Amino acid sequence: MSTNAEFGLIEASPPPEASQLGIVVWARKNLFNSVLNAVITVVMLAVLAAVAVGFSSFLFADERRWDAVTVNMRLLMVEGYPQDHMLRIWLSVGIIFALIGLTTAAWNAGGKLAPDSIQRMLIGAGSLVAALAVFGRPDAWVWMTVAGAVLIGIALVWRSSLGKKNIDKTIPTLGFLGGVIALILLVTWLLPVAMTTKVPWTVVFAALVGFYLVGRVLAGAVNNRTFRVVVLGLWVASFPYIYLVLQRRVDLDTDVMLTFVMPAAFLVLGGALIWAQLTKFSRDTAGVVTSVLVALSVASLIIPVAWDGWLELPVLGPLIGRVLLFALTAFAAGGRTFASGEGGARNVLVGWAGSVIAIAYLGTVVRGATDLGTFNAVYGGLNLTMLLSVTAIAASFPIGVMMALARTSKMPIFRLLSTGYIETIRGVPLITVLFFATRVLPRFMPPELAIDPVVAVAAGMMFFSAAYLAENVRGGLQSIPKGQTEAAQAVGMSTFLTTALITLPQALRTVIPALVGQVIALFKDTSLVTIIGLADFLHVARSIIPSQPDFLGVLMEPILFAALVYWLFTFTFSRASQRLEQKLGVGDR
């Protein structure tokens, strides 16, 4: 490397300093720099003020019945969930918050806050409270003004007490947030808030903090990557556990026994068969074995009912057996294509073990016996909304990715099936899919396999979302240059490895914005289930509360509250995805 000095060239100089504009100078320069702009500014400010006044006088009008929301909070959150079992709901919330704590620790999330930005936040909050006081009810406006003034006062005093030396010191955002939440909880203990609200939330917050601390310790002790994988695994397992086991109840019976015994047998014997298929059998033998398995799978579809009758087995055992048989057939048929290179057979066997365990796990939890009645009776409110959206989003992801891969595959049969699926689903409104899943499909099924409407709706949404997701992912796949595939193949990667390690990660990274848009849309689309008679969050706010004798016709308040909750969720999600994009350097590399 040569330097400028050696050649007597001009040295680099720092850029000119940007001048600090005062607010008056800034306003004059940007808002009042011509007569026309001054007029526009004044008019716009007037419009904004009118909107603010109108909205807040609406919010704080005497006839507003906000108690419709607070009194019905339980209804909004869980609808008709049995009151004796509320502990289960709180346990679910606790599990999720504990996982959030662990995740935050594992990814070492959270930045630093400067005193200046904290001061700005405090002053902002204080001014907002004080400004809203103008529209408050007579008994409240004094308190609001005082509270706002106190907030601003704290901000000013604290800031000036810091002194010159400490002004650049920062505090961790997480610590600040934790402190604020702890303060709010403390206040609930001083005020006459119901015990059933403040006790669980305090415990949940303690779980969040506790698991965060445990997570920090663990993150220091074990391999970070392993820790993160475990945390992700816990997330994946937690939702089925919450909705299918914790909020219902599994008793150990024949069904459940079979879901252990049968998968275990498949795991060992099927694993041996796949291994032989990959390493021992000749091409011809492997072909014969595959054909026999395909024939068995097809046969198991045609003669299921009679078989169940003869052996007097519960429905579930044969059902899981059938699913396992399909999986075995797929592995025996496709294994050879994917298991190339050294260690390929091992990878396929690991995949097989994973699939069997997943099928057994899902089989156990889906059909677990319960003493709380059907899903439909148990789930409602925000709980149902969460159940539907999480299930549909999480389950549609692998299906959508597989559909996208199939549609870009070289094999015509995959391409045809996937294209047919995607175009059919995309050509139909979501409501039609939901009606089909809950009203039409049961007519084709044997009566003992009757599907609960909640499960049917979740499945319908999953298949619907998968079609759109597949198209998004396909767009990402097509944006990956051909050179990437060639480079991967040139170092000996199989088609499977090339997809899993090179093209798919890049494609998914590219389509994050589209995927987030879809997830948000799906989250809000769950409110459509009200049409087929499920009581989701919006349904409670829109129909149930306004028809209560105490709150007859009170519609605005619960609806506004519902809008706020939907917005909070989607906004959090979109911020999280922005962080993810930054972290993955989308658009930068």
DSSP 385-434: HHHHHHHHHHHHHHHHHHHHHHHT-S-HHHHHHHHHHHHHHHTS-HHHHH
By CB under 8 A, name the binding residues for other proteins: 337, 340-343, 481, 483-484, 486-494, 497, 501-502, 505-506, 509, 584-585, 588-589
Residue 233 or 341 with smaller CB distance to other proteins: 341
Q: Measured from the CB atom, is 408 or 503 closer to other proteins?
A: 503
Rounded to the nearest 10 degrees, how much is the dihedral formed by the CA atoms of 83, 84, 86, 87?
Answer: 170
For the bound state, the minimum distance from the C-beta of residue 488 to other proteins, rounded and expressed in Å, comes to 8
In whole angstroms, how close is the CB of 234 to other proteins at the nearest point?
24
* Cβ count within 10 A of residue 546: 17
Cβ proximity to other proteins, 126 vs 335, nearer residue: 335
Handedness of CA 68, 73, 75, 76 (dihedral sign): positive
Three-state DSSP class for residue 298: helix
Q: Which is nearer to other proteins, 13 or 282 (CB)?
A: 282
Q: How far is the CB of 6 from other proteins (least distance, A)?
A: 17
Sequence-distant (≥ 6) Cβ neighbours of residue 507 within 8 angstroms: 473, 476, 477, 479, 480
When the beta carbons of 339 and 395 are compared against other proteins, the nearer one is 339
With respect to other proteins, which residue has the nearer C-beta, 92 or 499? Answer: 499
Nearer to other proteins, 309 or 483 (CB): 483
Q: In the bound complex, what is the minimum distance in angstroms from residue 580's beta carbon to other proteins?
A: 13
Output the furthest CA–CA distance in the chain (Å, rounded): 97
User: Could you identify the residue written with the tokens 């509250």?
Assistant: 561
Q: What's the closest the beta carbon of residue 160 comes to other proteins, in angstroms?
A: 44
Calpha distance 469→579 (Å, rounded): 21
Query: How far apart are CB 215 and other proteins at their closest, in Å?
Result: 24
Q: How far is the CB of 444 from other proteins (least distance, A)?
A: 40
- Tell me the closest approach of the beta carbon of residue 19 to other proteins, in angstroms: 33
Our CB check for other proteins shows the closer of 41 and 506 to be 506
The residues, ordered by sequence, that sit 6+ positions from 489 with a Cβ below 8 Å of its Cβ are: 498
Long-range contacts of 514-520 (CB under 8 A, 24+ apart): 514/472, 514/475, 515/469, 515/472, 515/473, 516/573, 516/574, 516/577, 518/465, 518/468, 518/469, 518/472, 519/393, 519/573, 520/570, 520/573, 520/574
Cα(465)–Cα(401) distance, integer angstroms:
11
CB of 583 to other proteins, least distance (A): 12
SS3 of residue 553 by DSSP: coil
Q: How far is the CB of 532 from other proteins (least distance, A)?
A: 42
On the 0-12 / 13-18 / 19+ scale of CB atoms within 10 A, 503 is: buried
Closer by beta carbon to other proteins, 1 or else 303: 1
- Residue 122 or 477: the one with the smaller Cβ distance to other proteins is 477
Taking the complex as a whole, the smallest distance from the CB of residue 440 to other proteins amounts, in Å, to 43
CB of 340: closest distance to other proteins in angstroms?
Answer: 5
Nearest to 561 by CA among 147, 78, 59: 59
Instruction: Quote the least distance from Cβ 490 to other proteins, whole Å.
Output: 4
112-113 and 171-172 beta bridge pairing:
antiparallel
We find the least distance from the C-beta atom of residue 111 to other proteins, in angstroms, to be: 22
Q: Quote the least distance from Cβ 106 to other proteins, whole Å.
A: 20
Nearer residue to other proteins within complex by CB, 67 or 486: 486
User: Between residues 458 and 493, which has the closer beta carbon with respect to other proteins?
Assistant: 493
Helical packing angle, 316-338 and 304-311, nearest 10°: 130
Torsion from C-alpha of 226, 275, 399, 414, nearest 10 degrees: 140
Q: How many other CB atoms are found less than 10 A from the CB of residue 404?
A: 27
- Quote the CA–CA distance of 215 and 98 in Å, as a whole number: 10
Nearer to other proteins, 70 or 484 (CB): 484
Please identify which residue in the block is written with the tokens 């007569």: 35
| C-alpha distance across the termini of the chain, in Å | 26
Q: Whose Cβ is closer to other proteins: residue 92's or residue 503's?
A: 503
Smaller CB separation from other proteins, 160 or 223:
223
- φ/ψ of 193, rounded to 5, equals -90, 145
Q: How many CB atoms lie within 10 A of CB 525?
A: 19
Q: State how far the Cα of 70 lies from the Cα of 263, in Å rounded to an integer.
A: 48
Looking up tokens 């289960």 gives 88
Contact 471, 402 (CB under 8 A): no
- Among candidates 195, 176, 63, which has minimal Cα distance to 119? 176
